Every structure is written in structure tokens, then in C-alpha cells.
Chain A
Amino acid sequence: MVTEKDVSYVADLAHLDLTAEERARMLKDLNSILDYIDRLNQLDTSNVEPMAQVASRYGERKDQADGFSYAMRSDELQSCLPRDEAMRNAPVSDGTFFKVPKVIER
């Protein structure tokens, strides 16, 4: 059961403020969705490996008919976006760095 305190804690982790109205709605929705997700506990998975990626299940069985390998390349320096293009969408910059509100007080 998610509580108001949990919503505040998670919003903080996720860097969201959320209005009072949004928090009330979030409390209701998260509880309803998590309640549905709880049906996963009907399954005994104690001897089942987690699958994080399609590759983690199929990509390492290269010797088998349904196995395959992934694109690999040598770790060499390659060209990348020029700085001015990479910075072009920055809301505030001095042309060299992204500018943000002061982080460290002296």
C-alpha cells in the first residue's frame, strides 16, 4: 500500500514537485496499478533467471539455431558532434559550458 509519504519520497527521488491535486491522483493510481502488478506474486520464480535484455537470453547462445551475436566494434576514438552543435539546444550556456543555478556556495 503506497502512502502519501511514499508519494513524497518517490517524487523527491524523481525530481518532481507535483501539485496537491497531482499527489492525490498519484496516490490513487499507483495503488491501483501496483495492486494489479501484485498478481506476479502468484508465480513461483525462485529458480528462474531474470531477463534484463533479449540478448541476455538469446544473444549468448550463438552455437544454437536461435542464437545470434551482437554488433561489436573495436574501442577506438571516433569523431563526435562538434561542441557548438551539441550545445545548440541548451537553454542557458556561455558557448563553452552549460550554465545552471549556483551549486556550491563560497
Chain B
Amino acid sequence: MEIDLLTVESARTAVLEKQTSANALVDAFYKKIEAEDKAIGAYLTLCKERAYSQAARIDALADKGDDLPPLAGVPIAIKDVFTTKDVRTTAGSKILEHFVAPYDATVVARLEDAGAIILGKTNCDEFAMGSSNENSGFYPVHNPVDHSRVPGGSSGGSAATVAAGTAVASLGSDTGGSIRQPAAFCGVVGLMPTYGRVSRYGLIAFASSLDHPGPFGKTVQDVAMMLQAIAGRDPLDSTTADVPVPNYREYIGRPVTGLKVGVPAEYFNEGLDAEVRASVEMGIQELKNAGAEIVPISLPHTPYAIPTYYVVATAEASSNLARYDGVRYGLRASEGKSLAEMYRRTRDAGFGAEVKRRIMLGTYVLSAGYYDAYYLKAQRVRSLLARDFDEAFAKVDVIVTPTTPTPAFKLGEKADDPLAMYLADIFTVTADLVGVPGISIPCGKSEEGLPIGMQILGKHFDEATLLQVAHVAEHALAGKATS
């Protein structure tokens, strides 16, 4: 079996039609991981016992001749920010190096209920803070397309497993672009669902009002099938919305005739790499050729998105990360003389430089005298960003932009300049702040052969239209690449 080419659907069909067994698939993927992942570093932990026991369950179902659940036998990888019962869960941080989660995240449980096989936990920037995966507390991830380049972040490991073929699909989380940006850099599809579409229960919190779980896959259909399994309200996360979940597969293959596609001028400014611009303009032209109406729009507050994000996200992070104090989660530095000293020593030893920087910034903007000037100010600008999108979506069905201003950069290139690194997320952060869904699909390559991503943003809870448009673009662009 040629496992590199497997999609969610073909993996399931292969098991259903007995071309292979789930057990044999798991064997083949672990063999590939052992041979190839050392050079990439996408996995932090493999959970073989769990994978083989799930494979046995699927093979038993297949032997009975029962119809199989929708993701049956599909080998997947999970970003290490989602808790997995009895499996080490680190969030990419030394402070959780030996943490073994006592329960499964809702998304993990739902993927396994749908028949997926979890091969392991993927590397990421520490607590999902970063755009290059260089902030992992363990080791960086290398882009499978070019090992000297970053895979993007923070879900770089999850994107890399799909790009390298060491998992069929994977799960990541997006707080400022952490699914879409690595998807663009690695040449795969990455979907950030609407805030409230997918449960955050068991997602180790970075910034609670911005954290979105979502899937990676080789194709738009693959992420649609993954989304189907994880979407919907969860009594364990009160911010999941009571909005019906449509059958996303029904939207795959529908034409885009008559749909209005907004193109915001602010995303095509002078900071945009020329090759990225040309590729995304070609993608937009393909949508036009397919019958969509292209509508120039404006999202005027776009230049304020990054500063807004770095106030809101760090403020929430400084609060969320207060729980790592050496009492409950594994790491405790040598006993200090007092409780406060034990806290400080543990946090100093356990957190990396970027996490400390964000905790400090977040604590500063929330501190007495600065709360109104920074935190409240940023929340007001967040309203203005939402207003931009409300006005745009009154006129158009989806918005199309580049996912990133440049293709993947080199390891080390931005590691010493936090502000330059933050600007890698300039086209993705706004959707997190506003809560609208977004997808990145491969859209051509640079002259050096590096993948370029096109981002499509949709209305709240309208992932269906997003997937419909993305699928049309994906097929038009694939035809172009081979012709």
C-alpha cells in the first residue's frame, strides 16, 4: 500500500474493502515515522499501545462486515496541546515534560469515536506561542519541503506530519494563525473553524477567547471530514454554540457560480512578497473563471490587528499560565525557602524565553495603571475589527487573501526579533480576534519550490460555504499545476 497518497476517505475505504487492515496501516505509518521523522522532528510522543488497540477495534468491526464509522482506520496525529488520557501531554513545554493527562480532550474522544487512530502527539511552539516552531521546549520542527526552513507555527508538527505523509490528517489549534500559517508553509490544507464551533475542553489554554481547535489534511474534503467529527456543542465547554452542524460533504463539489468573493485591498499592500501576490491573484482569477463574482472590499482596521492581538492574547496567557506553579503539574524546582520562591524557581526553570516574554507583556498590560490604556483599548479595537468584518460580510459570502506575507523562512532567520516573528501572522490574526472561520489551501509555489497558501475567510458558523469555495479553488489550481 502506497501510504503517502492516502486521504481520509481512501484510508477508510482501504480498510472497509479489506485491501489492508487498520493494524497493517498503523505498522506502515510507524515504520515511516521511525525512518523519516528524526530529520523533521514533527512528533514528540508516539502512543503505540493506544493506536494498536484502536486498530484492533476497527479491524474487528471490519471483520464483522459492519459499516465502519466515518474516520475508521485513518491514522492521525494530535498537536500536543490536547490532553490524551494516560499519554504524556506537554504543550511543547519543559514545565509539562512529564505530565500524563488524566482525561481526553473532547476533540480527541470524538475523533476516536469516529474511528480515527491516533499515532502520536506532535511538536509545537511552547504553549502554542510562536510562528516557526523554534519555541518548542524540546526540538524545532523542520519543514518537510525544505529542511533548512521552518514549518510555521505553532502547529508546525501537525502540518509537517501531513506534508511528510507520517499521518493522513492531524489536529492543531489556531490562536493567531497557528493552523493556517503552518498549512501554507508546508503546502497542506488547514482549517480554523468558527470560535464556538469546536470544543476547547482539554485544549491546554493559551488565550481562551482566541483558541480554536481545527484540522489539517491533504485535501479540502479531508478537513471537511475531520471537522464533521469534531464540530458541535459540548456540555463541557460553555462557549460552544448551540448551532446545528450541517453535512459538510454535501458542499464539496458544489459550484461557486454567483457567490461573491471579497478581496480586501489592505491584504495586498507593499509588505506582500511578489511571488505570493502573483500566486494568490491567480487563485482569485480561478474562482472568477469558475463563476464567482470578485468584489473589491476594505477591512480598514487591518493594520491594528497585530497590536490588538498581542495585548489580548498575552493578557489572557498571563492569567492562564498562572496555574503552572510547581504544585499540581509535575515539574517542581528544588524547594525554595518559601512558597513564593518555589513558584518563581519552578517557573524560571520550566518556561522558555518566548513564554516568559508573553507572560511579562500580559502581566504588564493588565497591571494597575495600564489596564485601561492597553487591555481595554485593545478590546475596543477588537470591536472595530469585528465591525470591519460585519460590514464586509454584508456584501460578500467569503473573503480571499494570502495566508502569509512570504513563503516559509529559514530556521533562525527571525528567532532573535520577536516583533518580526509576530508580523508573520499579519494576515491570520484578525480572524481569531473576530471569531470567523478561515482555511488555507495550497496555491502554487515560489520559484524555489516553496508552497504558497491562499486564505479564505467565511461568516460565523458558515464553514460549509468556506469548504465549498476552497474545494472549487483547490481543483482549479490542481488542474493548473499539472497542465
**Interfacial residues, chain A to chain B (CB-CB below 8 A):** 2, 6-7, 9-11, 13-18, 22, 25-26, 29-30, 32-34, 36-43, 45, 48-55, 57-59, 66, 68-73, 81, 85-86, 88-92, 98, 100-103
A98 to B332, CA, bound (A): 12
Tally of A-B residue pairs with Cβ under 8 A?
Answer: 187
Stretch of B33-41, B147-155, B230-238, B266-274 on the interface side: B230-238
Specify the chain A residue showing the minimal Cβ separation from B357: A29
A38 to B280, CA, bound (A): 32
- Chain A residues, CB < 8 A from B428: none
Q: A41-B377, A68-B196, A100-B339 are in contact. Are A10 and B360 (CB under 8 A)?
A: yes
A-facing residues in B229-248 (Cβ within 8 Å): 233-235, 237-243
- Chain B residues, CB < 8 A from A92: 332
Are B418 and A68 in contact (CB-based, < 8 A)? no
Are B348 and A16 in contact (CB-based, < 8 A)? yes
Q: A14-B363, A29-B357, A52-B379 are in contact. Are A91 and B418 (CB under 8 A)?
A: no
Stretch of B257-265, B281-289, B301-309, B443-451 on the interface side: B301-309
The 10 sampled A-B contact pairs (Cβ below 8 Å) are A10-B363, A30-B357, A32-B418, A32-B419, A40-B377, A51-B386, A71-B238, A91-B332, A101-B336, A101-B339
User: When the two chains form the complex, which single residue of A37, A68, A90, A91 contacts B374, counting CB atoms closer than 8 Å?
Assistant: A37
Are B360 and A11 in contact (CB-based, < 8 A)? yes
- Chain A residues, CB < 8 A from B341: 101
B310-325 vs A, CB cutoff 8 Å, 1 = contact: the mask equals 1100000010001001
Q: A10-B360, A18-B348, A45-B381 are in contact. Are A71 and B240 (CB under 8 A)?
A: yes
Are B329 and A45 in contact (CB-based, < 8 A)? no
- Chain A residues, CB < 8 A from B390: 66
Are B460 and A58 in contact (CB-based, < 8 A)? yes
Are B360 and A30 in contact (CB-based, < 8 A)? yes
A73 to B345, CA, bound (A): 41
- Most chain A beta-carbon neighbours within 10 Å: one of B306, B339, B460: B460
Q: A14-B318, A15-B343 are in contact. Are A36 and B233 (CB under 8 A)?
A: no
Interface size classification for chain B: 35 or more
Closest 8 CB pairs of A and B: A54-B435, A50-B379, A45-B380, A91-B332, A37-B307, A51-B382, A51-B383, A71-B233
Q: A22-B356, A54-B434, A101-B342 are in contact. Are A40 and B102 (CB under 8 A)?
A: no
Q: How far is the CB of B160 from chain A (nearest CB, A)?
A: 28
B48-85 vs A, CB cutoff 8 Å, 1 = contact: the mask equals 00000000000000000000000000000000000000
Are B382 and A50 in contact (CB-based, < 8 A)? yes
Is B378 at the interface (CB under 8 A from chain A)?
A: yes
Are A90 and B348 in contact (CB-based, < 8 A)? no
Are A90 and B386 in contact (CB-based, < 8 A)? no
Are B331 and A91 in contact (CB-based, < 8 A)? yes
A50 to B375, CA, bound (A): 9
A78 to B26, CA, bound (A): 37
A54 to B324, CA, bound (A): 27
Q: A30-B360, A40-B308 are in contact. List 16 more A-B contacts (CB 8 A).
A: A17-B344, A32-B418, A33-B310, A37-B378, A45-B383, A54-B239, A54-B434, A54-B435, A59-B241, A70-B196, A70-B238, A71-B233, A71-B237, A72-B238, A89-B328, A98-B328
User: When the two chains form the complex, which single residue of B195, B209, B303, B367 contacts A13, counting CB atoms closer than 8 Å?
Assistant: B367
Is B326 at the interface (CB under 8 A from chain A)?
A: yes
Is B6 at the interface (CB under 8 A from chain A)?
A: no
A8 to B377, CA, bound (A): 25
A-facing residues in B435-483 (Cβ within 8 Å): 435, 459-461
**Interfacial residues, chain B to chain A (CB-CB below 8 A):** 98-100, 102-103, 195-196, 209, 233-235, 237-243, 301, 303-304, 306-308, 310-311, 318, 322, 325-332, 335-345, 347-348, 351, 353, 356-357, 359-361, 363-364, 367, 374, 376-384, 386, 390, 393, 418-419, 422, 434-435, 459-461
A23 to B361, CA, bound (A): 13
Are A88 and B386 in contact (CB-based, < 8 A)? no
Specify the chain B residue showing the minimal Cβ separation from A41: B377
Are A103 and B327 in contact (CB-based, < 8 A)? no
- Chain B residues, CB < 8 A from A85: 102
Are A43 and B384 in contact (CB-based, < 8 A)? yes
- Chain A residues, CB < 8 A from B304: 39-40, 42-43
Q: How far is the CB of B378 from chain A (nearest CB, A)?
A: 6
Are B242 and A69 in contact (CB-based, < 8 A)? yes
A101 to B347, CA, bound (A): 16
- Chain B residues, CB < 8 A from A29: 357, 418
Are A15 and B196 in contact (CB-based, < 8 A)? no
Q: How far is the CB of B23 from chain A (nearest CB, A)?
A: 30
Are A70 and B336 in contact (CB-based, < 8 A)? no
A43 to B460, CA, bound (A): 26
A98 to B339, CA, bound (A): 13
Are B235 and A26 in contact (CB-based, < 8 A)? no
User: When the two chains form the complex, which single residue of B100, B195, B242, B386 contacts A89, counting CB atoms closer than 8 Å?
Assistant: B100
- Chain A residues, CB < 8 A from B460: 54, 58, 66, 68
User: When the two chains form the complex, which single residue of A15, A53, A73, A101 contacts B239, counting CB atoms closer than 8 Å?
Assistant: A53
